[in-house]
């Protein structure tokens, strides 16, 4: 009997481990047939279902949906361009084509300039150090009750997720509790970096980089961890060239830079994409940010200085 039990436990363990597994993950373009129409960016198999990652072309919000084939209209990317031409998502994507030249900080670096505040982006590059939880505690303490949940954008790497399960659970807990509204952004799986190499052959520009893996493996890791990838992408090191930038666009993604990297002393403006690192490697930027929110406490109470959700901010900017 004990032997039978242990075998059934083993089978159960295998089943729970594999039932949620993602397979056949791929770039897939299309639209849902139901209204309001959503654009489809990815397709995969999970739990014997065909699942899709969709983006709302008006709000830039993404979702994971399980749809029968009859509810899906397959389209080429140029057909999506025609059909959703006037939507904020397509306008933002078209705007990116003019932002592909810089070696550093290409992509969208400022959104809606009429905002009374900015969007906060926090990078989780691979790190051996624990998550800097103080920044999240300070954020919640400073912005609630004026903003609850507090909107933040977190860019995440596969290697960070592999070694920080408890920190990731902590962040998901803050979101589940209604303290944070997190926009999750792909920051590549490995985020390779060699301090001896010049930027032109570093990060994703390192020879032999498999861009497909860097993007799609990270999205799968995000989904396996219960995170829904947004339509944004942040280049590791904020480094790209025209070729790699344009390839990222072919995945339907919107690269984001930053015009206010606090550790580099760049001050936030209205609609800025502010950048800090909470992976334990940038205490200066975190200290600057905490100082900044303390200085602004009266303005936060008066709601004249706020944090903005990135998808909405980009959608609003594309309509101006």
- Are 135 and 143 in contact by the 8 Å Cβ rule? The answer is no
Binding mask 166-205 for Zn ion (x = CB under 5 A): ----------------------------------------
CA distance 191 to 134: 24
203/210 Cα distance (integer angstroms): 12
Q: Among candidates 3, 92, 116, 96, which has minimal Cα distance to 39?
A: 92
Site membership for Zn ion, residue 60 (CB under 5 A): no
92 vs 239, beta carbon nearer Zn ion: 239
Of 140, 191, 132, the C-alpha closest to 164 is 132
CA distance 231 to 90: 11
Which 201-240 residues touch Zn ion, going by CB under 5 A? 236
What minimum distance in Å lies between the beta carbon of 157 and Zn ion? 7
Q: What is the C-alpha to C-alpha distance for residues 189 and 134, in angstroms, rounded to an integer?
A: 25
With CB under 5 A as the contact rule, which of the stretches 39-47, 121-129, 167-175, 212-220 interacts with Zn ion?
121-129
Q: Considering the complex, state which of residue 52 and residue 184 has its C-beta at the smaller distance from Zn ion.
A: 184
CA–CA separation, 229 and 234 (whole Å): 12
Total residues interacting with Zn ion, rule: CB under 5 A: 3
| Residue among 64 and 199 whose Cβ is closer to Zn ion | 199
112 interacts with Zn ion by CB under 5 A: no
Q: Which of residues 144-163 bind Zn ion (CB under 5 A)?
A: none
Candidate list 67, 90, 122, 125; residue touching Zn ion; CB under 5 A: 125
Residue in this structure with the two tokens 């596969």, named with its chain if needed? 158
CB of 125 to Zn ion, least distance (A): 3
| Tokens standing for residue 191 | 């985020």
- Residue closest to Zn ion (Cβ): 125
Task: Based on the shown chain and the rule CB under 5 A, indicate whether residue 123 belongs to the binding site for Zn ion.
Answer: yes
């Amino acid at each position: 009997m004990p032997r039978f039990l242990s075998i059934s436990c083993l089978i159960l363990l295998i089943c729970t481990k594999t039932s949620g597994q993602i397979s056949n993950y791929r770039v897939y373009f299309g639209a849902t047939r139901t209204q309001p129409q959503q654009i489809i960016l990815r397709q995969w198999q999970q739990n014997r279902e065909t699942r899709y990652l969709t983006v709302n072309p008006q709000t830039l919000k993404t979702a994971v949906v399980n749809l029968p084939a009859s509810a899906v209209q397959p389209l080429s990317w140029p057909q999506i361009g025609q059909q959703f031409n006037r939507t904020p998502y397509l306008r933002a994507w078209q705007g990116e084509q003019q932002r592909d030249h810089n070696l550093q900080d290409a992509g969208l670096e400022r959104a809606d300039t009429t905002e009374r505040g900015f969007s906060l982006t926090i990078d989780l590059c691979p790190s051996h150090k624990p998550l800097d939880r103080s920044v999240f505690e300070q954020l919640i303490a400073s912005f609630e009750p004026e903003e609850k949940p507090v909107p933040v954008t977190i860019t995440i790497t596969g290697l960070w997720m592999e070694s920080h399960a408890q920190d990731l659970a902590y962040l998901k807990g803050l979101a589940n509790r209604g303290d944070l509204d997190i926009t999750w952004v792909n920051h590549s799986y490995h985020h390779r970096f060699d301090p001896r190499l010049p930027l032109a052959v570093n990060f994703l520009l390192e020879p032999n980089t498999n861009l497909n893996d860097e993007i799609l493996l990270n999205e799968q890791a995000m989904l396996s961890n219960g995170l829904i990838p947004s339509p944004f992408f942040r280049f590791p090191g904020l480094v790209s060239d025209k070729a790699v930038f344009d390839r990222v666009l072919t995945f339907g993604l919107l690269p984001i830079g930053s015009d206010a990297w606090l550790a580099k002393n760049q001050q936030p403006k209205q609609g800025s994409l502010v950048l800090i690192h909470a992976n334990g490697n940038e205490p200066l930027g975190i200290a600057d940010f905490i100082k900044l929110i303390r200085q602004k406490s009266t303005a936060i109470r008066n709601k004249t200085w706020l944090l903005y959700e990135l998808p909405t901010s980009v959608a609003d900017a594309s309509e101006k």
